[in-house]
């Protein structure tokens, strides 16, 4: 009998391997399970060999659970831990923007819940094609409404993220969502099944035909030129209300000690949940598939096993606790069904109406998938890109030209106000949001009595990474690290979502290897563990991959969130300092892109030592309450940072054009050198700031003072804040209504 | 014993924890009430918090009004029990006919979360006595279906009898947030005991986590009003 392995996304060699593992042909249901479990999305078969570098990083004392679990868990205070992770939902969001983005949020929230944590905040990193491209008008409003619709309805504040436009993402928008959760350390849950005789409980939504093959058909293949909407049946549909009650139900089950293991059902559905929990626990399972409550009665075993219906969790419950667990579910209105039990056989056996349809070792699905060392080849055009330096591009020289450049950049799609997007997100719910967008990092209070809290930032830069994947990954890490440090937190751990093209393209695989190497080296330099993450391959349209885009999340801890430093100038008469060194760095810059549509040269230099010293100054200054404001410098350079500082509370500033080593005002204003921040300091605290900067070896340049309702660059230009606000605020509403 | 203020949790309630915190910060004792119980546990007043009860997949608040707890809330309200409905709670109060009018989808058809300036219209209700009439306060507003509608006769009557509790302050910097008739952000029953409010005062009770503390007055008001209300019953 010839089986349809290729249609399910399996290679011939992979199919042969399945037959060899089983010593027979797989049943239809088994074949479907192997197809989804051995898909790129579930098995990490192309990335595994590179991701091992993260596991080799020095382990932090604070790390309670790391890679391999649903999300990493870090202890932040006595008996108190947080868990966080970022994940992609790129392909579904292109096919069906609202549901794709919504279920992306839903999926990462369940990962966090599965660790035993209460989800308390989300961040989203979004990338679209050119802002004025027709398809962006289809995709962006739906994605934003989906992220908002799901998160708002779950009652999770959205506290930060990014929105980036670049033609490279036109056929492959990126939707990466991060969720933060909090748990008492002793409530940590693990996703393994144990205890022969324990019952397997399915919680949450009915199982339907939605999302079948999502991980294999959608997320593990490249879009053909016209392939998008025809794959719509592979996109899941979200029900945030059910997720909300599933969260409350699970938290009560954890608190009452009624579950011994738990796993969320997302990509690959029951096939994944059953095989992973059984494999982790080294046990077998006997499942009665007919017990699974279905949305459509006509579903067949392979559909039930691979359905990606959302808002479902799999719990392992001791027999004597089943009645109590079912009562908790009943109280929350959550459907709960015993579908099987843990056995000593070491095999995953699935019955369907009196017939055994699956009988396999669970580890063969979860752990024994193929591992590829894919061929790699440095992209042929990299040298040419590096040689196309931005030095020769015409630059603004006169005061009027500089003013016009400033206003143009402030209103450009990547630098303008994000309020059109972020106003669709609830940032207040749960009452513990201390900072949210447009601040550098989101800050959430965890303990009302002590003020203990955490800061989170999520950053990436596809253009830098295109020019140099190793450096680009490190720059993403450096920016997220800096954003967390600038608000006054001490960086503690890293998560990442690596978005690239097809792993079958050797040039993409080389980029991916460089990204992981850069990130691992960067984390080693900063002394931070990678606690988990996600890989999204196949972000290609036809043969053209996206600019490789590692998105990096950094979590920091604050002993007292009342000491956080916001970005906005609030009081006139404060001294404005530029911390860090400015070089003539324009490769991959926003200026080169907006003004000249130019991408070439080298991205800014990375100096983790300088980042650590800057972070040290910011954290100490925040502890001592020295700063009125602090803002990290990144895209758009000093000019953009100053505009954002001024517009936040409508307090202007006057700064000198002669910024020390970078005497050229154009370089001073628009260069994108890393490891820099602008801070506002009340005059009595200036001396202390100098001492801190000298101790740490951070260059500190007094560049002006706050006040007035203009941004004045002395001797260069004077721009009313009203003009800046109009340019900054008007762009997205004009594009998206 | 400080005033005991009940906060109802429906499936899908989201701001219940915040409402309890606001009661506590105002000096009261929050009491968690459960939608499925027909029991107010002797509280002095009730808050129906924000959220998406039952997902609000049907008309907002249309299912929650049939929850067992609503029987005792409605009966209590008719006997003078003070009730504050915030956002989804306001929608539930309208669906339960304790307040006139309805809340429909925002005119912009998008969910909006903004720091919203309000003008207090009636500072004589059980929930607004800490303010002065005409006072400008800033409170977060966050909703997708916050456009208040009622027929002209009802709107005229609400205005004539001082039952517009708060309006949106609309100016150059603060555009109309949702298209509500006559910029109405909140209304009350004729006695001023039942108040529905679209903005979220419970998110403006401490400067650290909100735009300020302008919302605290709703909770201090009721704590001041409670003994009087009880004495009157």
B66 in contact with A at a CB cutoff of 8 Å? Answer: no
One domain for residues A365 and A410: no
In this predicted structure, what is the pLDDT of residue A693? Answer: 98
Give the whole-angstrom CA distance, residue A309 versus residue A298.
16
> Can you give the CATH number for the domain in which A612 is found?
3.90.650.10
Counting residues of chain A whose pLDDT is more than 90, the rounded percentage is 90
One domain for residues A240 and A349: yes
One domain for residues A303 and A409: no
Instruction: For A236-255, write each residue's pLDDT tens digit.
Output: 889 999 999 999 999 999 99
Residue A730 CB-density burial (10 A; 0-12 exposed, 13-18 middle, 19+ buried) = middle
- Poorest-pLDDT segment among A79-88, A397-406, A451-460, A653-662: A653-662
Instruction: For A558-599, write each residue's pLDDT tens digit.
Output: 999 999 999 999 999 999 999 999 999 999 999 999 999 999
Give the whole-angstrom CA distance, residue A577 versus residue A311.
49
R_g over Cα of chain B: 16
Q: Which of A50, A89, A598, A728 is catalytic?
A: A89
**How do beta strands A700-706 and A629-632 pair?**
unpaired
B12 in contact with A at a CB cutoff of 8 Å? Answer: yes
In a domain, residue A95? The reply is no
Instruction: For A178-193, write each residue's pLDDT tens digit.
Output: 999 999 999 999 889 8
- A585 in Cβ contact with A600 (< 8 Å): no
- Could you tell me which chain B residue has the CA closest to the CA of A561? B208
In a domain, residue A214? The reply is yes
One domain for residues A308 and A409: no
In this predicted structure, what is the pLDDT of residue A232? Answer: 54
Domain total of chain B? 1
R_g over Cα of chain A: 26
Instruction: For A634-652, write each residue's pLDDT tens digit.
Output: 999 999 999 999 999 999 9
Nearest to A155 among B14, B140, B208 (CB): B14
Helices (H) and strands (E) in chain B, counts: 5, 11
One domain for residues A269 and A411: no
Decide if B41 is catalytic: no
Diameter over CA atoms, chain A: 86
One domain for residues A224 and A350: yes
In chain B, which residues have their Cβ closer than 8 Å to the Cβ of A239?
55
Instruction: For A112-127, write each residue's pLDDT tens digit.
Output: 999 999 999 999 999 9
In this predicted structure, what is the pLDDT of residue B232? Answer: 36
One domain for residues A195 and A268: yes
In a domain, residue A166? The reply is no
Whether residue A683 is predicted with pLDDT greater than 60 in this model: the reply is yes
Give the whole-angstrom CA distance, residue A522 versus residue A542.
33
Among A193, A215, A273, A191, smallest CA distance to A38 is for A215
Mean pLDDT score, A98-123 = 96
Residue A649 CB-density burial (10 A; 0-12 exposed, 13-18 middle, 19+ buried) = middle
Domain total of chain A? 2
In this predicted structure, what is the pLDDT of residue B12? Answer: 96
Confidence of residue A68 (pLDDT cuts 50, 70, 90): confident
Per-residue pLDDT of chain B (233 residues; tens, 9 = 90+): 579 999 999 999 999 999 999 999 999 999 999 999 999 999 999 999 999 999 999 899 999 999 999 999 999 999 999 999 999 999 999 999 999 999 999 999 999 999 999 999 999 999 999 999 999 999 999 999 999 999 999 999 999 999 999 999 999 889 999 999 999 999 999 999 999 999 999 999 999 999 999 999 999 999 998 754 443 33
H-helix segments, A527-628: 590-596, 608-623
In a domain, residue A512? The reply is no
Instruction: For A141-173, write each residue's pLDDT tens digit.
Output: 999 999 999 999 999 999 999 999 999 999 999
Residues 6+ apart with CB under 8 A from A667: A582, A584
In a domain, residue A233? The reply is yes
One domain for residues A224 and A358: yes
Q: Residue A678: give the domain boundaries.
A: 404-416+565-737
Residues 6+ apart with CB under 8 A from A596: A390, A393, A394
Q: Residue B10: give the domain boundaries.
A: 4-232
Give the whole-angstrom CA distance, residue B3 versus residue B12.
26
Beta strands in A14-88 (DSSP E): 63-65, 72-77, 80-88
Mean pLDDT score, A102-120 = 96
Mean pLDDT score, A456-469 = 98
Nearest to A431 among B56, B110, B203 (CB): B203
DSSP state of A218: I
Decide if A91 is catalytic: no
Instruction: For A469-483, write each residue's pLDDT tens digit.
Output: 999 999 999 999 999
> Can you give the CATH number for the domain in which B80 is found?
3.40.50.880
Whether residue A661 is predicted with pLDDT greater than 60 in this model: the reply is no
Instruction: For A253-262, write each residue's pLDDT tens digit.
Output: 999 999 999 9
Mean pLDDT score, A320-341 = 98
One domain for residues A288 and A411: no
In this predicted structure, what is the pLDDT of residue B1? Answer: 59
Give the whole-angstrom CA distance, residue A626 versus residue A645.
17
One domain for residues A202 and A317: yes
Element (H, E) at A382: helix A382-387
Whether residue A226 is predicted with pLDDT greater than 50 in this model: the reply is no
Residue to test with chain A: of B15, B23, B111, B139, most A Cβ within 10 A: B111
Decide if B157 is catalytic: no
Mean pLDDT score, A136-141 = 97
In a domain, residue A213? The reply is yes
């Amino acid at each position: 009998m010839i089986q349809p392995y290729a249609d399910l996304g399996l290679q011939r060699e992979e199919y042969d391997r399945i037959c060899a593992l089983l010593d027979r042909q797989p049943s239809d249901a088994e074949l479907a399970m192997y197809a989804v479990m051995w898909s790129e999305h579930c098995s990490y078969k192309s990335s595994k060999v590179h991701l091992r570098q993260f596991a080799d990083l020095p382990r932090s004392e604070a790390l309670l659970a790391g890679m391999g679990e649903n999300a990493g868990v870090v202890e932040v205070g006595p008996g108190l831990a947080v868990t966080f992770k970022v994940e992609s939902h790129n392909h579904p969001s292109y096919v069906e923007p609202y549901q794709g983005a919504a279920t992306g949020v839903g999926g990462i929230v369940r990962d966090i819940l599965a660790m035993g944590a209460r989800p308390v905040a989300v961040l989203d990193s979004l990338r679209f094609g050119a802002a004025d491209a027709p398809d962006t008008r289809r995709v962006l409003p739906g994605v934003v409404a989906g992220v908002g619709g799901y998160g708002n309805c779950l009652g999770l504040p959205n506290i930060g993220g990014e929105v980036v436009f670049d033609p490279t993402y036109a056929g492959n928008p990126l939707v990466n969502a991060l969720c933060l959760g909090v748990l008492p350390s002793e409530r940590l849950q693990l996703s393994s099944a144990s205890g022969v005789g324990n019952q397997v409980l399915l919680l949450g939504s009915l199982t339907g035909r939605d999302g079948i093959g999502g991980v294999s058909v959608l997320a593990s293949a490249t879009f053909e030129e016209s392939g998008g909407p025809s794959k719509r049946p592979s996109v899941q549909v979200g029900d945030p209300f059910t997720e909300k009650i599933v969260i409350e139900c699970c938290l009560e089950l954890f608190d009452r000690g009624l579950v011994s293991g738990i796993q969320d059902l997302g990509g690959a559905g029951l096939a994944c949940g059953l095989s992973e929990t059984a494999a982790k626990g080294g046990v077998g399972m006997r499942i009665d598939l007919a017990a699974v409550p279905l949305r459509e009665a006509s579903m067949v075993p392979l559909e039930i096993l691979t359905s990606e219906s959302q808002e479902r969790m799999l719990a392992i419950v001791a027999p004597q606790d089943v009645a109590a667990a079912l009562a908790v579910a009943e109280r929350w209105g959550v459907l709960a069904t015993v579908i099987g039990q843990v056995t000593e056989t070491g095999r995953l056996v699935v019955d369907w109406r009196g017939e055994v349809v699956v009988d396999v070792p669970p580890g063969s699905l979860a752990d024994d998938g193929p591992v590829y060392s894919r061929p790699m080849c440095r992209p042929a055009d990299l040298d040419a890109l590096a040689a196309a330096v931005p030095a020769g591009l015409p630059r603004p020289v006169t005061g009027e030209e500089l003013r016009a450049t400033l206003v143009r950049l402030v209103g450009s799609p990547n630098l303008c106000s994000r309020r059109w997007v972020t106003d669709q997100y609830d940032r207040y719910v749960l009452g513990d949001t201390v900072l949210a967008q447009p601040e550098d990092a989101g800050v959430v209070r965890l303990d009302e009595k002590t003020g203990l809290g955490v800061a989170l930032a999520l950053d990436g830069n596809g253009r830098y990474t295109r020019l140099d994947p190793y450096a680009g990954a490190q720059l993403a890490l450096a920016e997220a690290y800096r954003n967390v440090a600038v608000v006054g937190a001490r960086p503690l751990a890293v998560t990442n979502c690596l978005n690239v093209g097809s792993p079958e393209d050797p040039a993409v695989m080389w980029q991916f290897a460089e990204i992981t190497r850069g990130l691992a080296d960067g984390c080693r330099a900063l002394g931070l563990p990678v606690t988990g993450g996600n890989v999204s391959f196949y972000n290609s349209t036809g043969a053209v991959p996206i600019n490789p885009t590692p998105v990096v999340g950094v979590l920091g801890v604050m002993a007292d969130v009342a000491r956080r430093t916001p970005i906005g100038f609030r009081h006139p008469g404060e001294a404005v300092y530029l911390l860090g060194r400015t070089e003539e760095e324009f490769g991959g810059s926003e200026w080169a892109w907006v003004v000249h549509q130019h991408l070439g040269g080298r991205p800014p230099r990375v100096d983790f030592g300088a980042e650590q010293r800057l972070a040290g100054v910011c954290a100490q200054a925040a502890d001592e309450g020295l700063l009125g404001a602090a803002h990290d410098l990144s895209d758009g350079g000093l000019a953009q940072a100053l505009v954002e500082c001024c517009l936040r509370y409508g307090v202007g500033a006057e700064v000198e054009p002669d910024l020390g080593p970078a005497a050229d005002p154009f370089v001073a204003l628009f260069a994108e050198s890393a490891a820099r921040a602008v801070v506002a300091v009340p005059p009595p605290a200036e001396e202390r700031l100098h001492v801190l900067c000298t101790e740490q070896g951070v260059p500190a340049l007094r560049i002006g003072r706050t006040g007035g309702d203009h941004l004045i660059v002395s001797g260069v230009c004077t721009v009313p804040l009203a003009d800046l606000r109009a340019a900054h605020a008007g762009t997205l509403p004009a594009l998206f209504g | 014993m400080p005033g005991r203020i009940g906060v109802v949790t429906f499936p899908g309630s989201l701001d219940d924890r915040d409402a309890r915190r606001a009661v506590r910060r105002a000096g009261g004792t929050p009491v968690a009430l459960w939608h499925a119980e027909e029991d107010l546990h002797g509280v002095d007043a009730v808050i129906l918090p924000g959220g998406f009860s039952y997902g609000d997949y049907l008309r907002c608040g249309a299912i929650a009004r049939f929850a067992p707890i609503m029987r005792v809330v409605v009966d209590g309200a008719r006997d003078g029990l003070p009730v504050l409905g915030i956002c989804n709670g306001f929608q539930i109060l309208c669906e339960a006919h304790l307040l006139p009018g309805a809340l429909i989808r925002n005119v912009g058809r998008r969910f909006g979360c903004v720091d919203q300036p309000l003008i207090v219209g009636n500072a004589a209700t059980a929930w607004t006595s800490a303010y002065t009439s005409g006072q400008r306060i800033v409170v977060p507003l966050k909703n997708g279906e916050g456009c208040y509608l009622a027929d002209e006769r009802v709107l005229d009557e609400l205005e004539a009898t001082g039952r517009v509790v708060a309006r949106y302050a609309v100016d150059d910097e603060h555009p109309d947030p949702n298209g509500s008739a006559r910029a109405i952000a909140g209304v009350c029953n004729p006695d001023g005991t039942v108040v529905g409010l679209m903005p979220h005062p419970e998110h403006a009770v401490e400067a650290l986590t909100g735009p300020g503390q302008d919302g605290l007055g709703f909770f201090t008001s009721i704590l001041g009003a409670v003994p009087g209300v009880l004495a009157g019953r």
